[in-house]
Structure 1
Amino acid sequence: MRSRSVLVLTVVHHPDDSRIRHRQVAALLDAGWQVTYAAPWSGYDLDLPATVPGLSTVDLPRSRGRHRGAALRGARRLLREHGPRHDLVLLHDPELLLALPGLHLPPVVWDVHEDTAAAVEVKAWIPRPLRRVAAAAVRGVERAAERRVHLLLADHHYASRFRRPHPVVPNVTTVPERAAPAAQPVDGVLRVVYLGSVTLERGAAEMVEVARGLPPGLRLEVVGPAHGPAQAVLARAREEGLLDWHGFLPSDRAVARLDGALAGLCLLHDKPNFRPSMATKVVEYLGRGIPAVVTPLPLQADLVGRSGAGVVVPFGATTQVLDVLAGWAADPEIPRELGRRGHQFVAEHHDWGTQRAGFVSALEGVAAAGR
């Protein structure tokens, strides 16, 4: 049987996105698929990557803030020209659904990463009076999409938004067989880490306050890009010498920064788009053997509770965060034991190695069904 081919598109996500590039695309390549990966390489100041067997890459305009028209037009041109040559089209941004009408394409799959309508309600670039209207429009697009394309869901809790059942490919992580023990000082300093995109809603101001209050010998390290007002917040904190901010790092380098840290932070606010989603960073912290300090959003609090690998603190309660970190620094065996528990739990329940075959099988089934 000939190998399958898939056109993978995003105009929003970083081309090195862990879910897209390092889990899904890698799994398809390993399964023998031919993959065309279209992403905003130049929009993130990246060159097209070196040749990888089975993988072709295409540059698309980046969609950001209110500047989305060029990206949508570019994606539509690409779909028209290249889509019919593939067995499947895999979309990673809801706005790409708007590029489909009138095109003759193979089966289309939309990977639903988040509660898009809830996310719209907190987008700073959308005028506040229009956010509810925009959220209602997104719900309408979702209902129409379910009738016209195939869906993959990144979380079981997204199922309630749709009428029919759809395959779930959870946001999990690749878990190493062994994890470095937590609380390993580097040059006498214990690192507290945050991994992922940074916004005010994701706790940028609280993290700066934590960094300001850390006792000697502890240091906050932020790995990930900042968006909106959080950019200025982190930039000022870095200029003051309060923390280390690396910005975006490729996935392998980013997760390596977790090894040996004292703890990982996830101080998300109580926002509608966060409530039904598992924060992947918490899974990654535990999978790399470090305990997590999280706010009481349902899924991350449940993960920390079931694994016994961290602490839940109230929203905005930076004093409690500092107390936890100081206690762990004073007795490093506590975070090391919590880290061991977390690694074992995530290896058993949230390892991409147990999910990748189901993902490839789901796409194979769609492709086999034909147009």
Structure 2
Amino acid sequence: MKICHMTSVHPYNDIRITVKECSSLVEAGFEVHLIAPNTSVENFQGIKVHGLLNPYKGRFKRANFFTRKVYLKALELDADIYHFHDPELLKTGIMLKKQGKKVIYDVHEDVPRQILNKHWIPKPIRKVTSFAFEKYENNIVRKLDAIVTATPYIEDRFKKYNHNVINVSNFPILNELYIGDKQIGKENSVVYIGGITKERGSLVMVGAIEKTIGTLELAGKFVNENEKKILEILPSWETKVNYHGFLNREGIKNTLSRSKAGLVVLEPRLNFIDSLPIKMFEYMAAGIPVIASDFPVWKEIIEMNKCGICVDPLNVEEISKAIQWIFSNPQEATTMGENGRRAIETIYNWETESEKLIKLYEKLN
């Protein structure tokens, strides 16, 4: 079976699209092609990569012009199944269906809820934009062959519109990040890895670490440079924060191995509350405790597996106390890390999730 994955936004080596999904399909014996923007790489882990130059600046031009290039390349490849990963490719999916192709939509995020928090959309029109996009998305997914979702919450939403919906959670690859779960000998530091914004807890993390004996290992890109400037003038930035910028997977593994806990203290926003943030599971995979927002879905996972501490993500004092507790109780923290790792090995791992994806392809063949 010849399979073509398509993205107009993500890099050719995206973790979910390429390292996990496409690589798993190659291992299962499929011929896998990937259309991705702005890369000269032609082969990645057995995946045939087709890089397309995107000369357009801004979201509007990309969505209206570059997606046409993606469609034409997809047609040229003449695959058996097409699997796209970006909402702006919904029209491309329908065009491929009209050509008699089998098409899968991979929904990474709950986009209508995301729109409500997009800073680049003027606030007065966010609600109507969210409503209009949801109607558009729901109408198109009725006509596609299958929907793959990244969380059970998104899965439940789309089951009303398509009979062939499966959830494939973005859980960690079992052996990618694990070194060991002992706390003794590690630095008094906690880590956050991911996109850095106020909504994802940047201000409260820096504020909380100031009240402890340790440091914050901060890795990732700032979505807004103005927010970086706000953090840089805080007294604790120079003395208590080690900012690493963007790290590759080996850099992430090394940073996790030095840290005593991982932070995922996202604000209680609609698009976060029912999400399953990969960083939370990556901390568990690395064998370190999690300090996480007390959202019901997250709290159930953490308390059921006894692998961390849930906090009010808006309460700096509460986050600070949780961090200090980890530093002051190394044996208990080690047990939490071991529990989290055990949960990854038995439940929350990519190896288990990939089986669902392979079965879907076999079903569509």
Q: Normalization by structure 2: what TM-score? A: 0.88
One-letter identity of the residue aligned with 2:199: E
Cα-to-partner distance string for 1:105-144 (whole Å, 9 max, x where unaligned) = 6211111111110000000000001101110112112211
Could you tell me which of 258, 262, 265 is aligned with 2:263?
A: 265
State the alpha-carbon separation in 2 of the partners of residues 196 and 116 from structure 1.
19
- CA distance 1:19–1:53, shift in 2 (3 Å): closer
Does the 8 Å contact 1:115/1:158 carry over to 2? yes
Listed as ranges, the matches of 1:70-149 within 5 Å are 70-83=62-75, 85-103=78-96, 104=99, 106-149=101-144
Does the 8 Å contact 2:220/2:244 carry over to 1? yes
Does the 8 Å contact 1:18/1:251 carry over to 2? no
Cα-to-partner distance string for 1:182-204 (whole Å, 9 max, x where unaligned) = 43545xx3221112222221111
One-letter identity of the residue aligned with 1:170: S
Matched, 1:12 2:9: yes
Per the alignment, in what secondary structure is the counterpart of residue 20 of structure 1? helix
Per the alignment, in what secondary structure is the counterpart of residue 259 of structure 1? helix
- CA distance 1:102–1:113, shift in 2 (3 Å): closer
State the alpha-carbon separation in 2 of the partners of residues 337 and 226 from structure 1.
33
Shift of 1:291: 0.4
- CA distance 1:334–1:161, shift in 2 (3 Å): same
Gapped runs of 5+ residues in structure 1? none
Does the 8 Å contact 1:292/1:311 carry over to 2? yes
State the alpha-carbon separation in 2 of the partners of residues 202 and 68 from structure 1.
26
State the alpha-carbon separation in 2 of the partners of residues 197 and 9 from structure 1.
23
State the alpha-carbon separation in 1 of the partners of residues 199 and 183 from structure 2.
28
Cα-to-partner distance string for 1:152-206 (whole Å, 9 max, x where unaligned) = 11111223322144111112111239651243545xx322111222222111111
- CA distance 1:179–1:364, shift in 2 (3 Å): same
One-letter identity of the residue aligned with 1:305: E
Does the 8 Å contact 2:112/2:130 carry over to 1? yes
Does the 8 Å contact 2:94/2:140 carry over to 1? no
Alignment size in residue pairs: 355
Per the alignment, in what secondary structure is the counterpart of residue 167 of structure 1? strand
One-letter identity of the residue aligned with 1:254: I
Shift of 1:91: 1.0
Could you tell me which of 200, 219, 226 is aligned with 1:223?
A: 219
Structure with more of its chain in helix, by fraction? 2
Listed as ranges, the matches of 1:272-291 within 5 Å are 272-291=270-289
- CA distance 1:8–1:232, shift in 2 (3 Å): farther
Per the alignment, in what secondary structure is the counterpart of residue 262 of structure 2? strand
Number of the residue aligned with 1:169? 168
State the alpha-carbon separation in 1 of the partners of residues 75 and 184 from structure 2.
49
State the alpha-carbon separation in 2 of the partners of residues 30 and 224 from structure 1.
30
Matched, 1:156 2:155: no
Does the 8 Å contact 2:206/2:237 carry over to 1? no
After superposing the two structures, state which structure 1 stretch, 200-209 or 240-249, moved more. Answer: 240-249
Cα-to-partner distance string for 1:322-352 (whole Å, 9 max, x where unaligned) = 2122222123112111101111112111111
Shift of 1:220: 0.8
Could you tell me which of 55, 58, 67 is aligned with 2:51?
A: 58
Shift of 1:303: 1.0
Number of the residue aligned with 1:67? 59
RMSD: 2.5
One-letter identity of the residue aligned with 2:70: L
State the alpha-carbon separation in 1 of the partners of residues 196 and 61 from structure 2.
25
Matched, 1:48 2:38: no
State the alpha-carbon separation in 1 of the partners of residues 6 and 242 from structure 2.
33
One-letter identity of the residue aligned with 1:277: S
State the alpha-carbon separation in 2 of the partners of residues 51 and 99 from structure 1.
24
Aligned-residue sequence identity (percent) comes to 25
